[in-house]
Amino acid sequence: MKEIKRFQIRGVAGDVKRVDFDGRIVDYWLPKEPASYLLIAHDGQNVFDGRTSTHRGQTWKMAQSANRVSKELGIAPPAIIGVWHSGTKDNPWGRGKDLVPEKYFRDGISVAKDVSVPSDHPDFLHGDTYLRSIFEEYVPAIAPAISPSHTAMIGSSMGGLATLYAVAQLPDKFTTALALSTHWPFGGNELVERTIKELPSPSTHKIWMSHGTKGLDSAYAPFQHLADKLMAERGYLPHNFVSKVYERSGHNERSWAKYLDQPMRFWLNT
C-alpha cells in the first residue's frame, strides 16, 4: 500500500487518504474515534472527491452522511473505504470487468441485447479477483480490527449488482448489502432470479435496494418488482430487507447522496 495523497472534505474532520494497491487506487477515511463499523464502497472515484467523480463535482458525500447518522444514533462514525474501478480511456471496459457478477454470466446468463460488451465476453470478466482483493488486501491493510458483523458494502448501478453478488459469494465477510439503482436490465429477469436465489439467509444478513424514476432508473421498476417478490419468498422481512422507490430521483451521485442517510440508518441502527 503506497500513499499517493491526502485531502480534506468540507465539514469532515481528518484526512481522506488515497493509496495505491499494486495499480488499484483506493480512497479511505477513518474517523477520529476508533471505528467499530466499516463501509466498503464501489466506484471510489465518486465517494469523496469531486475532482475525480464521474459527474464532475458530484460525490456521494458519504462521510458527511455517516457523521450525521452516527451522531443521531449515538455511535462513532464508520470507517469508509472507496475502491476505484479500473475503467479509463485506455481501458473503457474496466468498470464492467470489475463489477459484473462473474459466475452468473460464466454460467450462461445472457447480456441484454441492447447492451454493448466486448466480443470476448464473458472471458474478460474478473469480478471475483476484484472482490478477493478487497477482502484479502484492502480491508486487512486499512481496517483489520472491524468485525464482518459490523461491515457493509454499498454500490450503485453496476455497483449495486456487484454488492449483491459479493454478499452471496462472500457472506462471511460482511452482513449488510446496500444496493442503489441496481442495474437489473444488464441481464434482465434471469439475472434478478439468480441474484436473489444466491443471497444468504435472512437470519444472518440485511439487504437494502432502491431506485429512482428518472434517467436509467426509469427502466428498473419491473425488475425490482420481481426482486421484491422473490425476496419475500426467501423469507426476507421489513427488519432485514427494504426496497424503496424515490420519485423524481435519477441515476447520479447527487441523487444517491440526497437519500443516502436512509440506507446508512438501515445499516447502523442495529
- pLDDT tens figures, 108-163: 998 887 776 775 677 778 999 999 999 999 999 999 999 999 999 999 999 999 99
* Domain 2-268 = CATH 3.40.50.1820: yes
pTM for this structure?
0.97
Predicted confidence at residue 119, as pLDDT, reads 59
pLDDT for 118 equals 72
Instruction: Kindly indicate the confidence band of residue 231, based on its pLDDT and cuts at 50, 70 and 90.
Output: very high
SS3 57: coil
Give CA–CA dist 56/175, Å, rounded: 32
- Is 41 in a helix, a strand, or coil? strand
What was the pLDDT predicted at 57? 86
Compute and round to an integer the Cα radius of gyration of the chain: 17
In the chain, where are the structural domains located?
Answer: 2-268
pLDDT above 90 for 73: yes
Model confidence pLDDT, tens digit, residues 25-40: 999 999 999 999 999 9
DSSP state of 142: H
Q: Three-state DSSP class for 144?
A: coil
d(CA 170, CA 217): 27
Residue 218 one-letter amino acid? S
Helices (H) and strands (E) in the chain, counts: 10, 9
Kind plus residue range of the DSSP H or E element containing 236: none
pLDDT of residue 147: 98
Strands (E) across 98-195 are located at: 151-156, 176-180
- d(CA 240, CA 25) in angstroms, rounded, equals 32
| Class of residue 258 by CB neighbours under 10 A (exposed 0-12, middle 13-18, buried 19+) | middle
Contact 34, 48 (CB under 8 A): no
Confidence of residue 227 (pLDDT cuts 50, 70, 90): very high
Please tell me the predicted confidence (pLDDT) of residue 112.
85
